[in-house]
C-alpha cells in the first residue's frame, strides 16, 4: 500500500469521526452500537470545564438560602433575578437561575432549594398534639421535658410558677364511677332505668390547658400555642390529650410569616410565586 492510499484511509477516518460529531454548545457524538442503533453521548466531561454552570443547592436554613440566591444572582453578568416558587404548606421554596422565559427558555437545571425543618420544640409539640391519647406517664414526660416552654392555665388563665403542681396533678388523676338505678312499678307494667357516670379527678388542681412558646421554624418569629387538655375515661386506662386551639389559623399565620420573611431577605434578587414548578 503506497503513501497516498494510507493518507486517503486516514482522511476517511477523520471525515467519519467528524460526521459523528454534533455541532452543539455541549459537545456530543453520535455512536452506533453493534446492532446498528444510534444514540447521542455527551463528551462534556472530557473538556477542561463544563459548557455552562449548573447545579442544585439545598438547605434547611432560610438565611443561607437567601444569601446563596442573592450572591448567585449578583455574580451573573448582567445580574438576572432568579425565578422563585414557594409552597407554604410544605414550608419550602425553589429558585431557578436559568429558567429563562417564553422567548428565551433556559434549561432550568441551576437551582436553589429550601425546606425548613421544624425546631426541636415545635417538633415535640406536634408529636404530642398529634398523638391520639397519652397515658399519665407520657404526658408527664412531655410536660417535664419542655417545662421551660410551658405556662399552666387554670380555668383558662395563665398561672406563674405552677408547672410543678401541674405535673403532680397529672400523676395523681383517679377515676370515680357511680351508678344509679331507678325502678318504677305500675298496675300493668314496670320501668327500669340505669344511669352511669364517670368522673376523672385529682386531689390537686388539674390544669385546663397550657401555653407553649416556641419558634416553629428557624428564622421565623416565636409563637405562643394555646393547648387544651382533654381527659378520656372510656377505656381501661385514663387517656389524656392535648389539642392546639385554632391550629389551622396558626398554620396559616406561620406560612404568611415564612413568605413575608423570605420576600424581605431576597429583595429584588428573586421574584416569588405561590405554588410549585417543575421544568
Q: Where are the domains of the chain?
A: 3-46, 55-117+258-274, 120-184+193-247
Question: Does residue 93 contact residue 277 with C-beta atoms inside 8 Å?
Answer: no
pLDDT at residue 182 greater than cutoff 70: no
Give the mean pLDDT of 204-229. Answer: 94
∠ CA 39-41-43, nearest 5°, is: 165
- Grade residue 53 by pLDDT with cuts at 50, 70 and 90: confident
For the beta carbon of residue 108, count every other beta carbon within 10 angstroms.
16
Torsion of CA 219, 224, 225, 229, to 10 degrees: 150
| Span 62-121, pLDDT tens digits | 999 999 999 999 988 788 899 999 999 999 999 999 998 888 888 889 999 999 999 999
CA distance 117 to 61: 8
pLDDT at 165: 92
pLDDT, average across residues 192-208: 56
| Element containing residue 128 per DSSP (H, E) | helix 120-130
**pLDDT band at residue 172 using 50, 70 and 90 as cut-offs:** confident
- Considering all CA atoms of the chain, what is the largest pairwise distance in Å, rounded to the nearest integer? 135
**What's the mean pLDDT in 170-184?**
57
Strand 110-115 versus strand 55-59 pairing type = parallel
Region 267-272: mean pLDDT is: 93
Q: Is the pLDDT of residue 24 over 50?
A: yes
Residue with cell 440566591: 69
pLDDT in the model for residue 271: 93
Q: How large is the average pLDDT for residues 19-48?
A: 70
Place of cell 383517679: 174
Between the alpha carbon of residue 154 and those of residues 32, 37, 81, 149, 165, the distances in Å are 80, 78, 53, 17, 11
**Lowest mean per-residue pLDDT among 16-25, 92-101, 146-155, 210-219:** 16-25
Strand-pairing partners, residue 198, are 177
CA distance 216 to 155: 26
Q: According to the model, what pLDDT value does residue 1 have?
A: 52
Percent of the chain with pLDDT over 70: 75
pLDDT at 206: 85
The C-alpha atoms of residue 54 and residue 50 are separated, in whole angstroms, by 9
Amino acid at each position: 500500500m503506497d503513501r497516498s492510499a494510507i493518507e486517503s484511509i486516514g482522511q476517511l477516518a477523520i471525515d467519519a469521526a467528524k460526521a459523528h460529531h454534533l455541532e452543539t454548545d455541549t459537545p456530543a457524538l453520535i455512536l452506533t452500537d453493534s446492532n446498528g442503533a444510534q444514540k447521542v453521548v455527551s463528551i462534556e466531561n472530557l473538556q477542561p470545564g463544563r459548557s455552562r454552570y449548573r447545579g442544585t443547592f439545598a438547605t434547611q436554613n432560610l438565611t443561607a438560602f437567601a444569601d446563596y440566591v442573592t450572591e448567585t444572582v449578583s455574580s451573573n453578568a448582567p445580574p438576572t433575578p432568579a425565578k422563585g416558587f414557594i409552597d407554604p404548606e410544605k414550608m419550602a421554596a425553589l429558585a431557578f437561575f436559568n429558567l429563562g422565559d417564553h422567548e428565551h427558555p433556559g434549561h432550568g437545571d441551576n437551582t436553589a432549594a429550601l425546606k425548613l425543618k421544624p425546631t426541636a420544640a415545635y417538633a415535640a409539640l406536634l408529636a404530642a398534639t398529634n398523638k391520639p391519647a397519652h397515658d399519665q406517664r407520657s404526658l408527664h414526660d412531655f410536660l417535664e421535658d419542655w417545662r421551660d416552654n410551658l405556662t399552666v392555665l387554670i380555668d383558662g388563665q395563665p398561672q406563674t410558677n405552677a408547672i410543678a403542681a401541674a405535673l403532680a396533678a397529672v400523676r395523681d388523676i383517679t377515676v370515680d364511677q357511680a351508678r344509679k338505678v331507678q325502678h318504677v312499678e305500675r298496675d300493668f307494667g314496670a320501668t327500669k332505668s340505669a344511669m352511669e357516670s364517670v368522673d376523672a379527678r385529682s386531689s390537686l388542681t388539674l390544669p385546663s390547658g397550657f401555653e407553649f412558646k416556641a419558634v416553629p421554624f428557624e428564622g421565623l418569629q416565636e409563637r405562643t400555642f394555646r393547648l387544651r387538655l382533654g381527659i378520656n375515661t372510656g377505656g381501661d386506662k385514663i387517656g389524656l390529650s392535648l389539642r392546639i386551639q385554632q391550629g389551622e389559623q396558626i398554620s396559616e399565620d406561620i406560612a404568611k410569616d415564612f413568605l413575608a420573611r423570605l420576600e424581605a431577605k431576597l429583595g429584588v434578587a428573586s421574584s416569588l410565586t405561590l405554588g410549585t414548578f417543575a421544568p
